[in-house]
Structure 1
């Protein structure tokens, strides 16, 4: 990616500045210089914001980057143009911002916007994207970088990389973790620790559960148990004894059950014999009772036979009664029909008497029909006459209305002419408002500039006060840090001395004859002193305390340095804001003078006040309101005057139209009156209403005559039909009577024959049928008697055979023997159940404990594996290297390999980076230590032994190589530009010379390198320069040195 141009509008200290990178590509190396706070780094912020919508380091949002010098209506935007693979990309981004409305008062909130335009190699536009999500996705896909990675590759803060060279492995680990995203390894390490804790808790829970189970075992012979394994063995032995006792009890219980069953059988057999003897005695008594009822049952059987015969022949009697009833009903119907036929014949005689009256009605019907035809022929003529009369009336009304309308139009014309004259005079009087409106707009702009100047002055005063407060707090904090530093140095000295004594004591124990002393190198040790013996745990704890104290001391020293830098920055900012305040105060005075002059040039109004700083805005609004009222009145008068003229033209046109209409209406009325007279003569004075009334009356009479004639005809037909029906009915009834009479005679003969055969009268048969309900009772009683008789005889025969030759039995003794054996069996049953429950419960506990024991063995093995894995990954190993640090070693090795190529060129082959493989005393100083191999000395040096210029060169090579590796791993486009922020101010003359030579060598790689610095010596060494210049009020301009 090759930057082409950057344009910033109302962004930071820039109002509208454009930096053309194409003017800087010839030399490659250029300097961006300017005062502190002028906006040098803002140039890089603009590029980052345009691409990603956030500033470098994400310290400020795009909304916060809006310039404090922007006009209320001026938009904040950044346009960045760059080239990649012969395609040109131009991206413009606007942050969320609040702007004043261009028309009227108030503000409007504008949302964030972005637009990406893509051009081909010929400069033709290929595509344009304006949706924010699509633009962000396209940029990320093109660069394969996010804002953080872009900042790391493009902007190299040199001071940080000099610190990185000499930082401890712990500090390097934090930096590299942030760059390469290896948090997952650290998180995995923490997860493993949690798994070890969880596994340990699980084992503790299982051991507690095993202890609780062991307390619940019911011993046959109690014994002391120390371990779970021992408990399982002793439990198995005790369970065998309990099983043997249970089997013995089961055998005793089976014998008792057999003895009890034998006694039970003997008792129940004896009880059955006794019950049979009692039953035999009862049956003998029952047999005598049945014999006594024998005659009574014989009489009931005879009665039952008569009842059965009567019921069987009941149907014959019912048929005879039905035939008699049917013959009687037929006789009654014949008499009723003869009576109805006689009544019809009398009605026919009456109908014949009315024939003369009906003939007269028919004649009236014919006359009424003829009259209706005559009236219907006259009605259309009457309707035409009525319509003609209404037309004449309407034409007369229209003529009157048109006359009235002409009068109104004349009056309206006169009124409109007078109104138009009045409005023309009013418009002429209001014409002067437009010139005054222009002056008011100019005055408002001057007032806004004056208010902005006051706001800038107040802000500068406030910022200067805030920076003064910050400086005071930093001074106080520096004093506290100095005290803490002295205390830590004292503690470090004590811890170092104590650790040295421990190390000497440990080494003394390892001394052997003819082996060199690690302190003095002597092979003889004649005067070894006695020292206190320390445990290895004490030595490790001392080393950890020493390491922690050293880390605290380093941190405090870094804080002291950072605090000093912040104090210097605060002092610079105080001076800058005080200068800004003075410039803003001058602008306030000048702006106020122009406001007063502008007000003096305005036209006077009623109730105007003297212009002061307090009344300026209110007076301006009053004048604006008054002028707006005049403008509204002028516009309203213009509209009214135009409307009146249009109305007057409409009235003139209407007058002509109405006059023509009145003339035509008069002619039409005269023609309609002539037609009306002709029609009235043809009707001979009859009106439409009279004809309608006569027609309705005649139609009513006609309907009445027609209804009377139709009713007479219906009556004749009805009488004839009824006479025929009744005659036929009478004939059928006589035939039916004869048939029923013959059936009745036949039924009576059949009944008489059956009664004679049975020797019974009809009256007796009716009495028996009335007693039909007793049939069921008698049948059941006889059936029961016969069944009981058979049962008693059969049962007595069976009992006689069963009781024959049976001796007397003592039933009470047999029952007592059975109950005693039953009690013995139940006691043995209860004892067996108790023993079985004890054995079963112990067996369940044994099985549960055996499962828990097996789980404990497996879980303990898994815990050991987890602990070993956690210790290895956490760095508790021989090399004191965690898994994450091992991964970071590979990243750092890759960076150093790339950096060594560049460092060899920059130092002419003298220096090479090496990753230290020595295991330190602590994990914090092991794994990521960087050493420098000095080819001149032929040995490895610590990085912090390099001089200022040498450390700058090493840090520069490391920083650029780190950017290359990050870029390569991100898979993005090639970044052909590099910005180096500061890092030169602390270099002496010789170191600065070395740094410049290094930069010139890197420049030959084809990169565009921008040095952001305010060091004056660089201006003489770098030909291409970009100046960021301030005007004293906080605004800045960008200028390229020509």
Structure 2
């Protein structure tokens, strides 16, 4: 990081604006920031820290940053131009502060402000990056890679914090070094290994839990827990225990399977024998039952013999009557048809005229044909009647449409009149708005001039008051100068009056007199009371000079103020401020009214355009309405003429009927009645003939079948189902008789009937008991087989899990050992040092070596810095620093150094740290270093040696700023920045080294 410039305003002791050009100061590599105590040397470093971090270092945090010497209208501000990580940046910060109100009197609180810009290398211009406090803080933190406290330990070494890095604890030192050397990747490697360790252990734990779950399932499949207790998850012996458990369970299960198989085979043999005994008893019992049942059926058939004979006779008579059934059916059908036809004929003739009530069917048919011919002639008249109805409806609808169009046309005409009035009103409003726009430009120009006069008048009056106050102050200063001159003259006269005594006081015996040259001094002039010496005269003269300078300063300021007042009066004129204020207020009100009126111009134009479009649309719609009304009137006249012609033609066609359709319907109804009557009469004649013919056929069939009358044949008839039932009954009796003879003639049945009675229930119970035993033993055998299969499967799964878990367990152990090694948690890591700490220790060792070279030069070869890996209690090891004292040959703790020794040892350490950081490829180069005080604690020889070391930094293009009030440094360091303290605040004077640009 390199600083280029710093601008201050109202910051700390600096009441005004100050500028520091670090490029010119640091051109020689070494510059001095000096000034009296309390002038504000440390405030320059505070400003750098505030610009970068938004706060000041150490105990000065929380204090008011604004200068007590600043004018109210000068805002407290710090602007730092610097290069960081190859980027040229500019940061501007202003704290929260009070400022004068822009309008009126009094103060208002202004919020804190931050702005970050970057210079574009291509164009050389500045490009804004952010104005957000948070974004700027994140951006600078990522670039600086140091906190504010670490920055004060490495780059900015303020009072009271110079040796903090030298005496810092291991954790603080590790935090700073980690950011400077960017060792996050090593910390990330530690975290990565820890994550890998946790993941590997989780995989092993999951595998062990799976093995335990398989072991429990094996125990459950084997029929219970049993066996020795298993090791816990994570125990390497768990895999072997599970495999042994699985082998023992498989052996036990196979032994139980063999026992179950033998029991099942014995039960199956017993069941086979019991089943054979049950079948033999059942067969014998069946034969004995058949014999008893056959005897009982044979006796029952003998008792029903008369019933069989009667059924056979009834079946024979019914079969004879079946030959007469077709003739009977024909006669019955013809008789029913004839009765139906007679009823239909009577109903059909009921609606005929009296002259046609007894007319034959042919007469009725002829009369029907005549009526239908007459109805056909009315078809054209019916079409005309329909057309007349449609015409009347259309004329009525047309009249309603014309009425509605008339109402709509009247409404459009009224709307057109209103639109004309609106268009005229909007046009007037638009012209007024346009005129207001033209007035706005004129009023703005006039108001700008009046505002300038108002500001000039306010400044004129304020300057007049200031001039009066300054004139009074100048008058008082003139009187004070006159008084000082009179006092100086009085003191001078008194000194001249006593000058002989003053010269006599310098005489020495034997030495010549400065006036007469005599070595003898017989009567030297004595001192009178109230004698004034040279110091008093010089004091009076100095008082006079200060009074004269103050009077002249006031005179210059008064002349400048009066010239400024004259310029303001020329711009404002002689008009009083209230009158100008009232005129400006009136113009502002007129301008606001004109702007408000002009603002409506666009809206007025749009309203006028919409009104014009609406009026045009209404006019077009009214014209279209007139054309449409004319066309509809013409259409109605044509329709009315056509309707009149049709009505004349229809009057002739409908006769005495209300309408042609009614007359046609009447003819159709009469023709329909005649057609129905003719059809009914014809059918009645035909059915009478068929009935007579069916009666003759029935008498002949009954006689041939052996029946005396047709009624006797009708009585003997049986339905087909009845005949089948009788035949089936007779057939069943015959089959049953044959079956009985077959059973009673069977030799096996006869032998069974002669044997003792069988007991099938006892044989069945024995067979069922044997079957239950077969089922139980078979189920036990299947369960044993399933248990063996399940144990084989679980054993194979457990063996596979063990094979998968072995490499995971080995990998987990390796990763755990490696993670513990890089974390310093294992005895293999001798110093219990973490990987990041190991890397930082190597960097710190290089820092100590680089610092040792400079420390040797600063301490005349007495001291050297050494790095130590000795662990500290409850802290990191590997980050210790010791001081080797060449005079004693022993190492010392840094806390035992004196104030001066701590100063130059810390300085050497800071320079060594800067060297090593700059050498690192990813490190942050530290081109600027500030040292606040501490040189006063060095003796002259050590101071020379330290300055020689610092002077050698010029060859490395690095700059070091020394903040000190030691006088000897001014002679050694030509580039200086002096802080001058005064009553109105401190100021800066910059002096570059000879030859600096």
- In structure 2, distance between residues paired with 1:705 and 1:81: 109
The equivalences for 1:115-514 within 5 A come to 116=117, 118=119, 125=125, 127-130=127-130, 132=132, 136=136, 145=145, 154-156=155-157, 162=163, 164=165, 172-173=173-174, 175-177=176-178, 179=180, 180-181=183-184, 183-184=187-188, 244=255, 247-248=258-259, 250-282=261-293, 284-286=295-297, 289=300, 292=304, 294-295=308-309, 298=312, 321=336, 325=340, 328-329=343-344, 332-333=347-348, 336=351, 338=353
- In structure 1, distance between residues paired with 2:866 and 2:852: 9
Deviation at 1:1036, TM superposition (A): 5.8
Question: 2:31 touches 2:960 (CA, 8 Å); kept in 1?
Answer: yes
Distance 1:315 1:883, change over 3 A: farther
Q: What residue is the counterpart of 2:32 in the other structure?
A: 31
Q: What residue is the counterpart of 1:6 in the other structure?
A: 6
- In structure 2, distance between residues paired with 1:765 and 1:16: 153
Counterpart among 888, 905, 919 of residue 840 in structure 2: 888
Question: 2:917 touches 2:925 (CA, 8 Å); kept in 1?
Answer: no
The equivalences for 1:771-810 within 5 A come to 790=735, 797=742, 800=746, 803-806=749-752, 807-808=755-756
Question: 1:14 touches 1:1037 (CA, 8 Å); kept in 2?
Answer: yes
Question: 1:30 touches 1:1022 (CA, 8 Å); kept in 2?
Answer: yes
- In structure 1, distance between residues paired with 2:33 and 2:966: 10
Stretch of structure 1 that moved more, 938-947 or 30-39: 938-947
Distance 1:112 1:171, change over 3 A: closer
**TM-score between the two structures when normalised by the length of structure 2:** 0.52
Question: 1:115 touches 1:131 (CA, 8 Å); kept in 2?
Answer: yes
Cα deviation code 1:674-719 (max 9, x no counterpart):
xxxxxxxxxxxxxxxxxxxxxxxxxxxx9x9999989855742627
Distance 1:1007 1:311, change over 3 A: farther
Question: 1:337 touches 1:726 (CA, 8 Å); kept in 2?
Answer: no
Q: What residue is the counterpart of 1:963 in the other structure?
A: 914
Question: 2:331 touches 2:695 (CA, 8 Å); kept in 1?
Answer: no
**Residue 19 of structure 1 pairs with residue 34 of structure 2:** no
Q: What residue is the counterpart of 2:488 in the other structure?
A: none
- In structure 2, distance between residues paired with 1:311 and 1:64: 139
* Partner-residue secondary structure (3-state), 2:5: strand
Cα deviation code 1:68-110 (max 9, x no counterpart):
8888887554433346899965443556778775336996775
Question: 1:79 touches 1:90 (CA, 8 Å); kept in 2?
Answer: yes
Cα deviation code 1:116-158 (max 9, x no counterpart):
26355885x3644456599859966995757668767643569
Cα deviation code 1:215-248 (max 9, x no counterpart):
9999999999999979987997898588557634
- In structure 1, distance between residues paired with 2:863 and 2:742: 137
Distance 1:975 1:880, change over 3 A: closer
Deviation at 1:998, TM superposition (A): 1.8
Q: What residue is the counterpart of 1:877 in the other structure?
A: 828
Question: 1:876 touches 1:882 (CA, 8 Å); kept in 2?
Answer: no
- In structure 1, distance between residues paired with 2:190 and 2:101: 54
Question: 1:12 touches 1:67 (CA, 8 Å); kept in 2?
Answer: yes
Question: 2:207 touches 2:801 (CA, 8 Å); kept in 1?
Answer: no
RMSD: 7.0
Deviation at 1:1000, TM superposition (A): 1.7
- In structure 2, distance between residues paired with 1:74 and 1:318: 136
Counterpart among 719, 731, 736 of residue 679 in structure 2: 736
Question: 1:948 touches 1:991 (CA, 8 Å); kept in 2?
Answer: no
The equivalences for 1:672-687 within 5 A come to none
Stretch of structure 1 that moved more, 136-145 or 961-970: 136-145
Cα deviation code 1:869-924 (max 9, x no counterpart):
4653316337324232322233334545655676688789998765457x789997
- In structure 2, distance between residues paired with 1:902 and 1:765: 157
The equivalences for 1:755-766 within 5 A come to 755-756=698-699, 759=702
- In structure 1, distance between residues paired with 2:734 and 2:771: 43
- In structure 2, distance between residues paired with 1:795 and 1:60: 135
Question: 1:9 touches 1:78 (CA, 8 Å); kept in 2?
Answer: yes
Deviation at 1:274, TM superposition (A): 0.9
Distance 1:897 1:921, change over 3 A: closer
Unpaired segments of 5 or more residues in structure 1?
A: 349-433, 447-626, 644-701
- In structure 2, distance between residues paired with 1:86 and 1:176: 21
Question: 1:120 touches 1:126 (CA, 8 Å); kept in 2?
Answer: no
- In structure 1, distance between residues paired with 2:795 and 2:165: 64
**TM-score between the two structures when normalised by the length of structure 1:** 0.50
Q: What residue is the counterpart of 1:671 in the other structure?
A: none
Stretch of structure 1 that moved more, 147-156 or 16-25: 147-156
Stretch of structure 1 that moved more, 69-78 or 273-282: 69-78
Deviation at 1:24, TM superposition (A): 1.7
Stretch of structure 1 that moved more, 944-953 or 264-273: 944-953
* Partner-residue secondary structure (3-state), 2:270: helix
- In structure 2, distance between residues paired with 1:905 and 1:308: 158
- Aligned positions, number: 708
Counterpart among 947, 954, 962 of residue 1003 in structure 1: 954
Unpaired segments of 5 or more residues in structure 2?
A: 232-236, 357-366, 375-453, 467-576, 594-640, 993-997
Deviation at 1:270, TM superposition (A): 0.3
The equivalences for 1:646-657 within 5 A come to none
Deviation at 1:1002, TM superposition (A): 1.6
* Partner-residue secondary structure (3-state), 1:876: coil
Q: What residue is the counterpart of 1:92 in the other structure?
A: 92
Distance 1:745 1:1029, change over 3 A: farther
Cα deviation code 1:752-781 (max 9, x no counterpart):
466456549999999999x98xx7788679
Question: 2:858 touches 2:945 (CA, 8 Å); kept in 1?
Answer: no
- In structure 1, distance between residues paired with 2:714 and 2:92: 126
- In structure 1, distance between residues paired with 2:733 and 2:71: 130
- In structure 1, distance between residues paired with 2:812 and 2:672: 118
The equivalences for 1:458-607 within 5 A come to none
Cα deviation code 1:401-459 (max 9, x no counterpart):
xxxxxxxxxxxxxxxxxxxxxxxxxxxxxxxxx99x979x989x99xxxxxxxxxxxxx
- In structure 1, distance between residues paired with 2:898 and 2:61: 39
Deviation at 1:805, TM superposition (A): 2.9
- In structure 2, distance between residues paired with 1:766 and 1:733: 37
Distance 1:956 1:86, change over 3 A: closer
* Partner-residue secondary structure (3-state), 1:879: coil
* Partner-residue secondary structure (3-state), 1:4: strand
* Partner-residue secondary structure (3-state), 1:877: coil
- In structure 2, distance between residues paired with 1:857 and 1:794: 85
Deviation at 1:269, TM superposition (A): 2.5
Q: What residue is the counterpart of 1:562 in the other structure?
A: none
- In structure 2, distance between residues paired with 1:814 and 1:755: 71
- In structure 2, distance between residues paired with 1:78 and 1:738: 133
* Partner-residue secondary structure (3-state), 2:828: coil
- In structure 2, distance between residues paired with 1:750 and 1:43: 151
Deviation at 1:266, TM superposition (A): 0.5
- In structure 1, distance between residues paired with 2:898 and 2:310: 151
Distance 1:834 1:68, change over 3 A: farther
* Partner-residue secondary structure (3-state), 1:30: strand
